[in-house]
Amino acid sequence: MEKQAKLVELNDFRSPTNGEVFYYTVKDGTKIRVAIWNKKALNGTIILQSGRTEFIEKYYEVIQEIINRNYCVAMFDWRGQGLSDRLTSNKYLGHVNKFQDYDLDLHEIFIEIFLKSCPQPFIGMAHSMGGSIMASYASNKDTPLIGLILCAPMLNIPIPKIMKFIIQIVGFFSWLGFRDLPLSRPEWNKKRGWHEISFNENNVTSDENRYTRTSNLIKKEDNLALGGLSIGWSHSAYLRTNSHNKKWAKSIKIPTLVLCAMKDQLINSQLTIELCSNIPNHTIIEIQGEHELLMEKDNIRKECWEKIDNFLQKL
């Protein structure tokens, strides 16, 4: 049974109107926070999914922009982050047992909630880790999506050979049952709360105001905070990105827009371009921005939305 959930707001950054937010418990008992806006939209529904460490509130601006285009917006916090259930005793550790758990959550929530509550057709739109999961969903021959928008998708993880070797060794311990142990620990200061990374140290956006806005949301509700990586997440992410090959890309039959952040410090955009060129119906756009393209400066975001609008019109 659905249970009402909350959204965190700032005085100058609030949720769009005509939305609802609630908890849904998936089959394995994990409680997932779900949010839907603008159910009476005429153009269909965009399933908007975030990247690792992110949460629904961070996307208020993007949600309103989608609503302005007369779409319904449906999204949820991935398990282990946002205000969905955390999966380890250290709630600030980024963890999942396996990426297939993300896949199952997306499929179940679509079938049990979005399909029953939201207007058709359905378009997938996702960033970073969310892009990897959404693209996998789109690669299924019976996917319910008619189009796919990927923003700096995590289709590869550029790591040195020695680190790949370490992750493979770590994988052995993962299968022994140590999946929820930290590979890297969260930066958490018990006395003053979340250890904030300064704007000058960040590697995801060049827009200080939007970066600070996200930090302020975490300061207001530290249960949104996430840091560090578990053995399980690291090994499973390695396996998932390794499965992204030419054959996999060719299995994505729906029209796909890929926005590549050419200043990305987390993802190898050139490898993304090479891989996504194998998607039969693809449009690849190179954007001169950092990893979080939709949290970037106005001129970069404007370019992104121009490309998204062109893509949606063609659908």
CA distances from 218 to 54, 96, 132, 197 (A): 10, 21, 25, 12
More confident residue, 1 or 148: 148
pLDDT digits (tens, 9 = 90+) for 213-250: 999 999 999 899 998 888 888 888 989 999 999 999 99
Identity of the amino acid at 131? G
pLDDT digits (tens, 9 = 90+) for 56-82: 999 999 999 999 999 999 999 999 999
Confidence of residue 196 (pLDDT cuts 50, 70, 90): confident
Cα atoms found within 13 Å of the Cα of residue 274, Cβ hemisphere only: 8
Angle at 293 between CA 289 and CA 296, to 5 degrees: 75
pLDDT at 234 (0 to 100): 85
- Give me 138's structure tokens: 């789109």
Q: CB count, 10 Å around CB of 298?
A: 10
Q: CB count, 10 Å around CB of 270?
A: 14
Angle between the N-to-C axes of helices 231-242 and 161-173, in degrees from 0 to 180, rounded to the nearest 10: 120
Q: Determine which of 147-161, 174-188, 284-298 has the lowest per-residue pLDDT on average.
A: 174-188
pLDDT at 227 (0 to 100): 83
CA distances from 272 to 102, 158, 246 (A): 21, 11, 11
Q: Where are the alpha helices (DSSP H) in the chain?
A: 60-67, 99-109, 115-117, 129-138, 161-173, 208-220, 231-242, 246-250, 269-276, 298-314
pLDDT at 192 (0 to 100): 46
Whether residue 258 has pLDDT greater than 90: yes
- Give me 150's structure tokens: 């990927």
Mean pLDDT of the chain: 91
- Give me 169's structure tokens: 């060794």
The count of domains in the chain is 1
pLDDT at 174 (0 to 100): 57
Closest CA to 37 of 3, 10, 66: 66
Cα atoms found within 13 Å of the Cα of residue 282, Cβ hemisphere only: 21
Number of H helices, E strands in the chain: 10, 14
CA 43 to chain centre: 23
Expressed as residue numbers, the domain containing 138 is 3-314
Burial category of 268 from C-beta neighbours within 10 Å (exposed 0-12, middle 13-18, buried 19 and up): middle
Indicate which CATH number applies to the domain containing 17.
Answer: 3.40.50.1820
Q: Confirm whether pTM is higher than 0.85.
A: yes
Contact call for residues 71 and 124 (beta carbons, < 8 A): no
Between CA 274 and CA 284 the distance in angstroms is: 10
Q: Is the dihedral of CA 104, 81, 43, 295 positive or negative?
A: negative
Residue 218 CB partners (closer than 8 Å, separation 6+): 194, 196, 224, 225
pLDDT at 171 (0 to 100): 60
- Give me 35's structure tokens: 């949010």
pLDDT digits (tens, 9 = 90+) for 145-155: 999 999 999 99
Identity of the amino acid at 242? N
